Structure 1
């Protein structure tokens, strides 16, 4: 995580995302706000870590996983649009039970809740609490939809969504295709709740259908439209 001290840039984000509207007394909180940047593979929250900051997630792409007691992880969802992170943990109901990892450079506005004065003021701010209630309700709906997708959607659908979200720009200028998938397949199988062998079968099916092309170190996406169509109804 890199903290930016550029107040002008912070003010631009605050104005663009109307962050002041979520507080009854924004002037009090303003002096504590920090603009931060997370690079790819940075961990925003780690399972059972102490919560030092809550974040207004502004731009980029995040992967949210649930960490199980057996040491494995299960993919829950992706975040791309404006969200607040750490809302449930702010109420001290639990330490973070999910991990949030950056999959594309992301910008957030951070609020230091390790400062008890700030945390106490947040929990007394009616407008902020109303915003948190809306955020938690929206996430409850998302988790319900994700649970349904895990049960009802095929691995083909869920893998297509995973590849679509985690694909990256192809740096091979000689290639006619501009997106590639380079993720660790063992980890991918675990996150999607399947076996490595079954995952390879589905990937081979995509290759045979002309959706992907296998290269030495990655899969090239040949038909992004069909991949996106396959990914519908999974991981909202």
Structure 2
């Protein structure tokens, strides 16, 4: 992690942030950048800062003793991603691993000197509650889908949900972790989709060629809001 000395956001960007999240303006945030695949925090290790994601994609995961990482969810949108649980519960260690995908730009605020202020800041608390509730809903849906549906069904829904203009791009290793499968299992599913004419491999991406069939396959699965 690198603090961007002298670095700051453009005034227009601050104005947008403050309009959406007025509580941000009450605290002395620092701009910091995390590199590709760098951990923002590690499970059961000390958490000393709030992190507000501005740019990038961050995975939330756990790695049990057998070594296969299980991705709980992704933080894809602008918002608070680290420290909110610690502020609310008084924890001093992380409840999961947070790791940047291709790098992440964040605002950072040390928790210790601002802990009491944050706990008395109703605007911050309402924001944190809403965001944690949204994450809980997403995680509940992911868990239910992983338990109730075959990998083929889950992957069909995932392809449809995360494609752009009919093109699906993803790291299959990370996607397998998110769907509770192995890379080998997911590779077989993608190969099957290609052989059935549902997808066409195009370099490091896949073009959807059987949209209706994928929709029918994923129709019974609960969709993320």
Give me the whole-angstrom Cα distance separating, in 2, the residues matched to 1:4 and 1:228.
Answer: 44
Equivalent in the alignment of 1:101? 99
Name the TM-score, length of structure 2 as normaliser.
0.74
Matches within 5 A, 1:38-117: 38-86=34-82, 87-90=84-87, 91-93=89-91, 95-113=93-111, 116-117=112-113
1:204 lines up with 2:191 in the alignment? yes
RMSD: 3.6
Superposition TM-score, scaled by structure 1 size: 0.71
Partner Cα distance (1:13, 1:224) in 2: 39
Q: Gaps (5+ residues) in structure 2?
A: none
Task: Report SS of the residue matched to 2:141.
Answer: helix
Q: Partner of 2:9: helix, strand, or coil?
A: helix
Cα-to-partner distance string for 1:110-157 (whole Å, 9 max, x where unaligned): 1111xx222232222232222222222222222222222222233124
Query: How do residues 7-22 of structure 1 correspond to structure 2 at under 5 angstroms?
Result: 8-9=8-9, 11-18=11-18, 21-22=22-23
Count how many residue pairs are aligned between Structure 1 and Structure 2.
216
SS at the partner of 1:15? Answer: helix
In the alignment, what sits opposite 2:139? 143
Q: Equivalent residue of 2:74, what SS?
A: strand
Secondary structure of 1:17 counterpart: helix
Query: Which position in structure 2 is the counterpart of 1:171?
Result: none
User: Cα offset for 1:163?
Assistant: 6.6
